[in-house]
Amino acid sequence: MKNKNSRFETEVIHSGYHSDEHQGSLVPPLYQTSTFTFASAEQGENRFAGKEEGFIYSRLGNPTVKILEDRMAVLEKGEAGLAFSSGMAAVSAVLVALTKTGDHILCSQGVYGCTFGLLGLLKEKYGIGHNFSLMDSKETLENEILPNTTCIYIETPINPTMKLVDLAMVARIANEKGIPVVVDNTFCSPYLQTPLSLGCDVVIHSATKYICGHGDVVAGLVVGKKEFMQEVSRTTQKDIGGIISPFDAWLLLRGLKTLPVRLDRHCENAGQLFEFLKAHPKIESVYYPGDPKHSDFSIMEKQMKKPGGLISFTIKGTKETAGRFMNQLQLIKIAVSLGDAETLIQHPATMTHAVVPEEERRKMGIENTLLRLSIGLEAWEDIMQDLEQALEKI
Ligand code: LCS
């Protein structure tokens, strides 16, 4: 039995699961069922009325999913977790729960393209406004929080520019004003960063990425205070219905076990490749939070355990040069997504952030020559050689 203060590497394997409640099964069982039978009509009534604990229907809860949610809550140092069918299902459930017509969301200057799209949809259809903020000082933040701001939404590191936001600073100001701070922690995973321990209120993940780690699941996770998570569970999750399938939850539990081992390797590989990219004459700029010259390096040191496994860089030349370079790669795959064993490269301006209008993209720092590399678990020397041979050909 793990003790109460087990370390992260132990919690990813054991927390939230008690084998004695499941016939001694070492691995959490997969409850691949849509519904649960009641012993009597009265039991059904009591479960619906909340007078008796127990499962009802898998959109409202499932034992395999519950193990994942409980484990994530421990890892993110929160009170409760909820799992969703995608990262975007998680983002939308949280934003809809925190806002109503006339409210305002203050968002970091740069977010994943579909989150940008969702903010536009909320504005257009439901009159929920938003602004983007650099959030780089107390003054900026205080000026940009409006009287009707009901949510501060942050990605850090920001996809794909790798800029950082000082979470403790934002949380201090937001807490004073009673505004919840929501952090998309996809790029870090709880192994590298735990926003709730810095005073933030809600953490979101595209679990499709490092949490899964094997490129075979699309899923989302949210962790926060028990009361808020119960509200999301009762309202936006239950009634909009973007729940995870039990099998995907089972795969995520499997993936989670190796999260720290994988991330150590992702980070080590990224550090090596940063040195290579930085020195290469055909590369213009490299954006990597582990770069001591990165404008937010001190924030990285303060709030992240390690700089992560993603590097963005601009190539000298034009959009076409970037395309020719990608087409020469042999080992590295051209694909969106990140956090997989395979090294992936993508062109944000035409792929993950294609829905963002060009002017907004420029404000976010997404140039047409910017490429994002999700560094995999291969030998870094092989990744480097692939980058080198492709760069030679352009
Ligand atoms: N948040 C971040 C920071 C993301 O990068 C993504 C997806 C999402 C939320 C949405 O998660 P999903 O619904 O896809 O599970 N990011 C992607 C990316 O950078 N490439 O492909 C998807």
In a domain, 1, yes or no: no
Task: Write down the pLDDT at residue 1.
Answer: 57
Is 190 in the same domain as 289? Answer: no
Is 154 in the same domain as 51? Answer: yes
pLDDT averaged over the chain? 97
Task: Write down the pLDDT at residue 172.
Answer: 98
Is 293 in the same domain as 244? Answer: no
Is 98 in the same domain as 244? Answer: yes
| pTM given for the model | 0.97
Nearest ligand 1 atom, CA 90:
13
Under DSSP, the state recorded for 24 is T
In a domain, 2, yes or no: no
- The residues near 326 (Cβ < 8 Å, ≥ 6 apart) are 334, 345, 347, 371, 390
Q: Distance between CA 254 and CA 215 in Å, rounded?
A: 13
List b or e across 250-284, with b for residues whose CB sees 16 or more CB atoms inside 10 angstroms. bbbbebbbbbbebbebbbebbbbbbebbeebeebe
- Output the CA 218–ligand 1 centroid distance in Å: 9
- Output the CA 18–ligand 1 centroid distance in Å: 32
Within 13 Å and on the Cβ side, how many CA atoms surround 44?
8
- pLDDT tens, position by position, 185-219: 999 999 999 999 999 999 999 999 999 999 999 99
- What value does the mean pLDDT take over residues 53-67? 98
Within 13 Å and on the Cβ side, how many CA atoms surround 145?
21
- pLDDT tens, position by position, 231-288: 999 999 999 999 999 999 999 999 999 999 999 999 999 999 999 999 999 999 999 9
Only one residue has tokens 């980058």, namely: 387
CA 62 distance to own-chain centroid? 23
- The residues near 383 (Cβ < 8 Å, ≥ 6 apart) are 269, 273, 331, 332, 343, 375, 376
In a domain, 142, yes or no: yes
Classified as helix, coil or strand, 336 is coil
In a domain, 70, yes or no: yes
In a domain, 174, yes or no: yes
Task: Write down the pLDDT at residue 109.
Answer: 95
pLDDT classification of 2: cutoffs 50, 70, 90 = low
Q: What percent of the chain has pLDDT over 90?
A: 98
* CATH number for 37: 3.40.640.10
Which residue among 221, 256, 291 closes a domain? 256
| 322 conformational bin, left if phi > 0, alpha if psi -120 to 50, beta if neither | alpha
Nearest ligand 1 atom, CA 91:
9
Which residue among 225, 256, 287 closes a domain? 256
Provide the domain limits for residue 189: 8-256
- What value does the mean pLDDT take over residues 24-51? 98
246 lines ligand 1 (CB under 6 A): no
Task: Write down the pLDDT at residue 211.
Answer: 98
Q: Which of 298, 269, 285 is nearest to 383 (CA)?
A: 269
Is 203 in the same domain as 303? Answer: no
Res 132 pLDDT > 60: yes
Is 266 in the same domain as 352? Answer: yes
In a domain, 363, yes or no: yes
- What value does the mean pLDDT take over residues 57-71? 98
Res 141 pLDDT > 60: yes
- Output the CA 188–ligand 1 centroid distance in Å: 13
Is 138 in the same domain as 61? Answer: yes
Task: Write down the pLDDT at residue 5.
Answer: 78
Q: How many distinct structural domains can be found in the chain? A: 2
Is 185 in the same domain as 320? Answer: no
- pLDDT tens, position by position, 67-101: 999 999 999 999 999 999 999 999 999 999 999 99
Res 3 pLDDT > 70: no
* CATH number for 268: 3.90.1150.10
Which residue among 238, 256, 274 closes a domain? 256
Is 316 in the same domain as 385? Answer: yes
Classified as helix, coil or strand, 271 is helix
112 lines ligand 1 (CB under 6 A): yes
Q: Distance between CA 332 and CA 345 in Å, rounded?
A: 7
Tokens (6 digits) for 74: 């421990």
In a domain, 286, yes or no: yes
Task: Write down the pLDDT at residue 321.
Answer: 98
Is 336 in the same domain as 370? Answer: yes
Is 78 in the same domain as 213? Answer: yes
Is 195 in the same domain as 248? Answer: yes
pLDDT classification of 59: cutoffs 50, 70, 90 = very high
- Output the CA 255–ligand 1 centroid distance in Å: 17
Tokens (6 digits) for 45: 């009534």
337 lines ligand 1 (CB under 6 A): yes
In a domain, 192, yes or no: yes
CA distances from 190 to 75, 174, 311, 379 (A): 6, 22, 19, 24
Bond preceding residue 260 cis, omega within 30 of 0: no
Active-site annotation, residues: 59, 112, 184, 209
